[in-house]
Copies of this chain bind each other. A is one copy, B any other.
Amino acid sequence: MFDPRISIIDDRLSTIDRVIAVVSGKGGVGKSVIASTLALLLAKEGFKVGLLDVDFTSPTTHVVLNASGLQPIEDKGIVPPEIHGIKYMSLVFYLGNTISPLRGTELTNILLEILAYTCWGRLDILIIDMPPGISDLMLDMLKYVKRAGYLIVTTPSKMSFETVRKLIMLLKGLGAQIIGVVENMLMSGSTEYIRREVEALRERYLGGIHYDTSLEESLGNVEELLKTGFALELKSILQNIIM
């Protein structure tokens, strides 16, 4: 038995110049707001950009983008709808507000399905928002999307870096491309703790983003979101790296 989806994935992704997965291992560090805001920033700069939400049991990028009510079109595959200049794909299109508890084997199946049948067309960059944990979807990305570069997000907390360190070790061990580490939700001054730890692992510390009390209110309002200190700091950190 032979699964034809696997042999078509590289084909489908061949029209995309660069694939960037936003990861952490840890939850709640800001992966989804960073992935969504990065996609918005890139679209505004004139890049052709796609955003894929792979946190299938608890997707959230649609909240940031206010993307409810969108529907993909079926035409020799699935054509993702466009919002704010981003080609956007999420399981939310098919789930509505219901819950879909999914086991790991099912998560793998969904990823394969989406990678094999989504027609992204020509893209400069595809951003992938990853779930927390170091489980099926992380292993599947490493297996099926070998070209992906990893943008790692942590908070200043040792609880958070405890997990991030392990993820970095995994990615390094497999020779995956690590773009660098973003430290999100700085409270007042940086402690330099994360920078030191990241550099000790010989990876790139990209910079810090402060905790921004105006972010929550701006979620769902893209104009407002792009004006927040959060978005400005994210832009200045990634300016020369991704944009």
Contact = CB atoms under 8 A, between A and B. Distances in A.
A135 B101 contact: yes
A170 interface: yes
Instruction: Describe A's contact surface by its main secondary structure.
Output: loop
A60 interface: yes
Contacts of A57: 25, 133-135
A159 interface: yes
A163 to B, nearest CB: 4
Given A26-B27, A101-B135, A132-B58, A32 B167 contact: no
A99 B139 CA distance: 13
A133 B104 CA distance: 11
A133 B56 CA distance: 9
Interface residues of A, number: 46
Contacts of A136: 103-104
A238 interface: no
Given A60-B159, A63-B158, A99-B166, A132 B216 contact: no
A60 B163 contact: yes
In the complex, the count of this chain's copies comes to 2
A31 to B, nearest CB: 9
Interface in A133-187: 133-136, 138-139, 155-160, 162-163, 166-167, 169-170, 187
Nearest to A161: B63
B187 A101 contact: no
Given A133-B132, A158-B63, A163-B60, A170 B101 contact: yes
Contacts of A170: 99, 101
A213 interface: yes
Contact of A187 (B29, B107, B134, B213): B213
B101 A104 contact: no
Interface in A28-50: 28-29, 32-33
A101 B6 CA distance: 22
A219 to B, nearest CB: 7
A240 interface: no
A157 B216 contact: yes
A206 B132 CA distance: 26
A43 to B, nearest CB: 21
A103 B26 contact: no
A58 B163 contact: yes
